[in-house]
Amino acid sequence: MDELLVFDLDGTLLNSREKLSDVTRHALSELDRLGVNWTIATGRMPHGGREALPGIHFKHPQVYKNGVLMWDLNEDKVISKMPMDRVEVIEVCKRLRKRGINPWLNTIDHEDNIGAVITGISTQREREWADFLNHEGIVVQERSDYSDIEEHILNIFAATDNAAVMDMAEELADVTGVAVFAGHDMYNPGNYWMDIHHAGGTKGDAAKLIQQQLGAKKMICFGDSDNDISMFKLADECYAMGQGLDELKAIATATIGTNNEHGVAQFLASRYGFELPDRD
């Protein structure tokens, strides 16, 4: 077919329990059976994509960290990367610490090995995240000085109960080389997430590149949040999740069901004419 479907993960393919339901998994397998091209574009790192979609075999590269990293999860290799400027990283981290935010860095070395850096692990949530990364074979460095990190820095992130992250887009507006996204943690009520990376990387640009490489005539995107806006602006068709941001719905071709109602799966079954299983 001459279409490329691009799916966000959290809030789109994944339900509020952070799971890919059996219904949605079936819909993706039907796309493969019918020969429909599809991939994901997410704010997660590749190991987060692997965790979210166990047993899924991708036929095309995927978009991670909102477009600054393209990766082939099947062969576990980099397609492209867009690291942050080192000076900007130091300035951003300095400002975050002043607001009581302990920043993590996702890194990638010159042999394309992914790593993580944090000043120090001080909370249970940070310990759980570090344990997950170590389980995935990712080395977590604890260091007080970020200025001499040898690896490329892909992004700065935080998962915290500190609401100050919600103000960082405005506070970092004068740092012209970075893009800032933040929001309420949909999986942990009362908590927040923040992601900062190179302003030149977007989901939309990365997804468009995959479309061009495939020679697909149409790009059809699905999402729920502000980091999906760049895809929606470049897509031929774009569908916002029912529980998604009003800002995204305003530019969408249409709004579909929520992620807890198998909204994507229901849309795909109707569009491509296949049946869905009667189970969660």
Tens of pLDDT along 176-197? 999 999 999 888 899 999 999 9
Whether 172 shows a pLDDT value over 90: the answer reads yes
Is the fold of 3-81+202-272 the same as that of 86-198? no
- Residue range 86-198 in CATH 3.30.1240.10: yes
What CA dihedral angle connects 263, 245, 208 and 133, to 10 degrees?
-80
Helix (H) / strand (E) containing 237: strand 237-240
d(CA 12, CA 41): 11
> Quick check: helix, strand or coil at residue 3?
strand
- Domain map of the chain by residue range? 3-81+202-272, 86-198
- In angstroms, how far apart are the furthest CA atoms of the chain? 56
Rounded Cα gap, residues 236 and 220, in angstroms: 6
Would you say residue 280 has pLDDT above 90?
Answer: no
Average pLDDT along the chain: 94
The structure tokens listed for 212 are 């061009």
Query: Amino acid identity, residue 86?
Result: R
Q: What is the CATH number of domain 3-81+202-272?
A: 3.40.50.1000
Q: Which of 48-57, 125-134, 240-249 has the highest mean pLDDT?
A: 240-249
Q: With a cut of 70, say whether residue 160 has pLDDT above it.
A: yes
229-241 mean pLDDT: 98
pLDDT in tens, 116-155: 999 888 888 889 989 999 998 999 999 888 888 989 999 9
